Structure 1
Amino acid sequence: MVRIREFENGVGTLFHRNLVRGSTHLYNGQEAVAVGAVAALRPTDPVTCTYRGHGVVLARGSDPVACYAEILGRSGGLCGGKGGSMHLTDVSRAHYGSHAIVGAHLPIAVGLGLGAQYRGTDEVSLTFFGDGTVNIGAFHEALNLAAVWSLPVVFVIENNLYGEYSPVAATTPITRLADRAAGYAMPGVQVDGNDVHAVRDIVATAAERARGGGGPTLIEALTYRQVGHSRSDPATYRPEGELDAWLERDPITLLERFIGDAAATASVRERVAAEITAALDAALALPEPDEAELLTDVIG
């Protein structure tokens, strides 16, 4: 979780130095969701996520240098510098993409689950998405098909309280998003998304159920993004005091309290900060992609 936080702070620095083309969507505050969920999976279990996906990719074990290089549009990036911040993909880690279109990856996650079922493996497809996605047609179609075919898919809502700039209550008529599962005859559970152990345990239960042929589960992880929707969003729409209240429940702080060893956790922070600084410097030293690579790996 510290690695993700340090990485995202570095992305913010790059953006303000005008070194990142387009926008960026940081994961600060949501680290426990990705880390807890991935900890419950096997390395071969396929994963997909949203454009706010740096944390998920890093939790999956991707190289921070390659991640930074992709965001910077440099050679050596995860996608050769062609995908950028919103499309980090690392198939070598069974990570089948961060997706910029809201909800577009849920059918892909269902397809990955269908593939596992068809091949007779016990892989589980897990997909992360935001609270705004529960109002997208692809969400309902994906859950419906996964339930009808009893596919091994775990759907994880990262409910950070806002769909871009709109609070959940302004766009969704229910307060407990996990209740949407009832319409598709699958379990719907809610978990403290800032408690890494709670997330791990809930996802582990859902993954075990899916591996055993029990079908999909919908998990709602309650969390909070500590920054604006994107780097151009100052988040002035948040009620006074809301951010401070959630900072008291910062997932890294909660874990450090659980560990109860200030010297050990300080050592982790220091070591990881140095690691990420070195990764950022290494990525900045990489060249931009050669012109000959312009049309490679591109389907037209």
Structure 2
Amino acid sequence: MSIVISGANGKLGSLIIEQLLQKVSADQIIACVRHPERATSFLNQGIEVRHCDYDQPESLDQAFAGASKLLLISSSNPDDTVRLRQHAHVIESAKKAQVEHLLYTSFAFLGDGLISPSHLHLATEHSILTTGIPYTFLRNALYTDFIEVIGLKTAIANGELIIYPGDWKFNTVTRHDLALGIAAVLSEPDGHRNKTYELTAPHPWSFDELAIIMSESAGKHISIRQDPQIQNWIYGYLNKIDTSSTSDDLERLIGGPITTLKDSVLPFIKM
């Protein structure tokens, strides 16, 4: 079995390979990267490294040759038109290479999304379905580290976390937990073919819960204040995606509980 990971040098890709190495031998893993010269750590672990650039279709045919499983990690390009074209290049090359199983890191609960990333992921999923290649859609929730942009240090200093008004609930997860779940799917037999997993927290959390954790960490009370005048792009984004729907798919895949909210957010509070 050859497990090919595209975007292997990225944060999620690197974590997936780290977890895969605990489940399969290094010679079963192929790390596809845009800059092979930056992948010496993989080579040192006995992992084959191949050049793979979503913008260079000619690089993909060879990169995917002999793949039993190919994990397409979604492009990080900020332009969704470019991203969709890049994904199309990967999917077409997967067909040419006769990949046996195509897995894709999509986004959780797409049917409830109102913004272009939802359309991007739905379009990519549809393209994969049209190939006839057995698939697995790994619909990842928002990363918990989005909290970096809501002003945690300022909140701790002032004793007050200011948020945009709303009944906010979050189904977020860590990259580490996603890597655990995805590595489980990649390393196990083909029971995951033609399935879609919503990889979210099993229960949503609130800003009130976050404030309690911040208070415990800071040794003083941190209150929550809603302010409709707050200027932060993140709330516009959060309002347009499904941040609250949950699933136990991720915990079932990893065979246990995901990282607690406290353990997930403390690194950002203490930075």
TM-score norm. by structure 2 comes to 0.35
Q: Which structure exhibits the higher relative contact order, with contacts defined as CA atoms closer than 8 Å and separated by 6 or more residues?
A: 1
